[in-house]
């Protein structure tokens, strides 16, 4: 208990990702790399790989022309050499941002209770798989695992982490595994790392959702979809056109800038706005569409539940692509690889894809604060406070407030649940907790 309290205590000074942007228009003129904005590198290795990433992106653009914002975002976040997530811990005080599971254990506990409650309502199917997309430091998985081990009453389950970062996959294993092993390259088939928790549960790490075995699954995605690449589109003279990224090379640096595509791009051609689309400028994530489509097909064919938790909107925001560095906003085209890149999740799009790609019953999105309150978060808070040292009580309380207060994370973060469509009548009779 003390460890948990101190753990929360050491986190409360961190900031989460805000929505305010650094005041950059959607299509900008040249972006100057000013002296006082130059990135502070954390180590020589990072400086070198990030410098290489800038060169690599600049060279690609010079050779083949401007690239999409999605390609830029993908390279900056997940390039095997200089990608932001690939080789270091980016969370917490020494990192760039803090996420809900890292702020308070109450978050993961309530998510775990919600999952187990819905699983029991479906008759406690066994075996099941716990899948997490983009588990970060593994804190949510660890807190959910604690709840599952109390509830599961003999059911068999395995854990499947979908994680692209070799560094973070080891951090996750160290958080909730008793032992783990990175598989030699030649043995890597559907998974690249395996582990075993202290209670004997098998854990597998996969690079892609497609590589996770099929079967009844409980799926979690917290701040995963906001890290997926977005295309930026604008409606000009009745046609959707794509915003691209170009580069100006001078002797010392590569200055990236936004430009409008001269002709239709594959994505601007393919893009079909949802009915009643009002916006003339928007962000469109093919990768988010692909992941939700896959989840929908899996849930329909093999059963399960998915819970998507992220900051986002319901099809009304236009320009949310931004960088985040050392707990402050960062111009996304500056010093690629040194800052997180993110875009708000379009929940209307996700819900539409889930419901049209397969027979899926969606609940929400609801606001995080409402979800946590209706899952009796206050009761858990009072329990923790009862056992906490007096000097830690205000820290525990402020962590909970940060997660639930509408002015902080309570309204910006949203929860969307997906169930197989055949359960719709059952779920109307026994309503889904937290989504009332
Ligand atoms: C913003 S972090 C969220 C971490 C964690 N869920 C949390 O809330 O603390 C995004 C996570 O997704 C992973 N990730 C990003 N893009 C990915 C991709 N295309 N495939 C798999 N994992 C990815 C990152 O490495 C990281 O673990």
168 inside domain: no
Work out the number of other CB atoms within 10 angstroms of the CB of residue 235. Answer: 15
In a domain, 147, yes or no: no
Q: Is 101 in the pocket of ligand 1 (CB under 6 A)?
A: yes
Of 215, 200, 204, 205, give the one whose Cα is nearest residue 128. Answer: 215
CA angle 341, 396, 307 (to 5 degrees): 50
In sequence order, the β-bridge partners of residue 304 are 217
Query: Is 182 domain-assigned?
Result: no
Q: What is the pLDDT of residue 248?
A: 86
pLDDT of residue 18: 57
CATH number at residue 115: 3.40.50.12710
Q: Is 395 helix (H, G, I), strand (E, B) or coil?
A: helix
* 190: in domain: no
Within a domain: residue 114?
yes
Helix 139-151 and helix 166-176: axis angle, to 10°?
40
CA distances to 111, 327, 336, 364 from 417, rounded to whole Å, are 12, 29, 34, 7
pLDDT at 94: 86
**Which residues sit opposite 323 in a β-bridge?**
330, 341
Q: Are 78 and 86 in contact (CB under 8 A)?
A: yes
Q: What DSSP line would sit under 309-334, residue for residue?
A: EEEEESS------EEEETTEEE-TTS
Rounded (5°) CA angle 242-222-175:
130
Give the Å distance between the CA of 135 and the centre of ligand 1: 6
> Which residue, by CA, sits nearest to atom 2 of ligand 1?
136
**Residue whose CA is at the smallest distance from ligand 1 atom 11:** 134
In the numeric block, the tokens 């407030």 are attached to 401
In a domain, residue 250? The reply is yes
Per-residue tokens: 268:
């601007």
Q: Find the 210 Cα to ligand 1 centroid distance in Å.
A: 16
The pLDDT score that the predictor gives to residue 1 is 30
**Number of domains forming the structure of the chain:** 1
- Quote the ligand 1 centre to 381 CA distance (angstroms): 28
Compute the distance from residue 42 Cα to the ligand 1 centre, in Å.
21
d(CA 141, CA 135): 7
Angle between helices 286-302 and 347-357 (to 10 degrees): 40
Output the CA angle 314-316-322, nearest 5 degrees. 95
| 165 assigned to some structural domain | no
Q: How far is CA 67 from CA 74, 223, 258, 266, in A?
A: 11, 25, 10, 12
Q: Are strands 128-133 and 157-162 parallel, antiparallel or unpaired?
A: parallel
Residue 376 near residue 353 (C-beta atoms within 8 A):
no
Q: Where are the alpha helices (DSSP H) in 320-376?
A: 347-357, 368-374
Within a domain: residue 142? no
Label the pairing between strands 254-260 and 193-196.
unpaired
Q: Which domain holds residue 351?
A: 2-125+216-429
Q: Exposure pattern of 125-138 as b/e (b: 16+ CB <10 Å)? A: beebbbbbbbbbbb
Residues of the chain with pLDDT under 50: 1-14, 21-42
């Amino acid at each position: 208990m003390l460890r948990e309290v101190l753990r929360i205590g050491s986190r409360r000074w961190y900031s989460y990702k805000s929505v305010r942007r650094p005041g950059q228009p959607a299509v900008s003129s040249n972006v100057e790399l000013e002296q006082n904005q130059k990135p502070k590198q954390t180590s020589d290795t990072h400086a070198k790989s990030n410098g290489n990433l800038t060169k690599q992106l600049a060279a690609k653009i010079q050779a083949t022309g401007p690239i999409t914002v999605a390609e830029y975002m993908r390279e900056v976040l997940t390039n095997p050499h200089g990608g932001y997530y690939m080789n270091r811990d980016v969370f917490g005080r020494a990192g760039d941002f803090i996420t809900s599971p890292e702020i308070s254990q109450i978050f993961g506990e309530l998510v775990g209770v919600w999952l187990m409650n819905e699983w029991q309502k479906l008759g406690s199917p066994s075996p099941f798989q716990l899948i997490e997309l983009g588990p970060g430091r593994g804190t949510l998985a660890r807190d959910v695992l604690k709840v599952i081990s109390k509830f599961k009453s003999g059911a068999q389950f395995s854990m499947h982490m979908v994680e692209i970062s070799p560094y973070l996959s080891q951090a996750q294993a160290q958080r909730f595994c008793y032992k783990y092993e990175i598989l030699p390259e030649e043995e890597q088939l559907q998974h690249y790392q395996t582990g075993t928790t202290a209670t004997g549960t098998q854990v597998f790490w996969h690079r892609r959702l497609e590589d996770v075995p099929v079967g009844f699954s409980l799926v979690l995605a917290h701040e995963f979809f906001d890290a997926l690449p977005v295309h930026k589109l604008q409606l000009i003279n009745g046609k959707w056109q794509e915003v691209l990224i170009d580069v100006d090379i001078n002797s010392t640096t590569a200055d990236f800038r936004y430009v409008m595509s001269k002709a239709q791009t594959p994505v601007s051609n393919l893009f079909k706005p949802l009915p009643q689309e009002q916006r003339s400028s928007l962000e469109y994530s093919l990768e988010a569409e692909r992941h939700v489509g896959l989840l929908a097909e899996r849930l329909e064919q093999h059963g399960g539940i998915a819970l998507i938790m992220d900051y986002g909107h319901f099809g009304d925001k236009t320009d949310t692509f931004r960088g985040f560095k050392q707990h402050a906003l960062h111009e996304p085209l500056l010093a690629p690889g040194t800052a997180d890149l993110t875009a708000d999740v379009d929940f209307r799009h996700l819900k539409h894809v889930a419901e049209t790609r397969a027979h899926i019953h969606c609940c929400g999105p609801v606001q995080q604060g409402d979800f946590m309150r209706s899952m009796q978060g206050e009761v858990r808070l009072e329990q923790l406070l009862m056992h906490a040292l007096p000097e830690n009580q205000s820290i525990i309380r402020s962590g909970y407030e940060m997660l639930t207060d509408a002015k902080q994370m309570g309204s910006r973060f949203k929860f969307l649940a997906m169930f197989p469509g055949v359960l719709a009548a059952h779920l109307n009779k026994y309503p889904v907790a937290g989504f009332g």
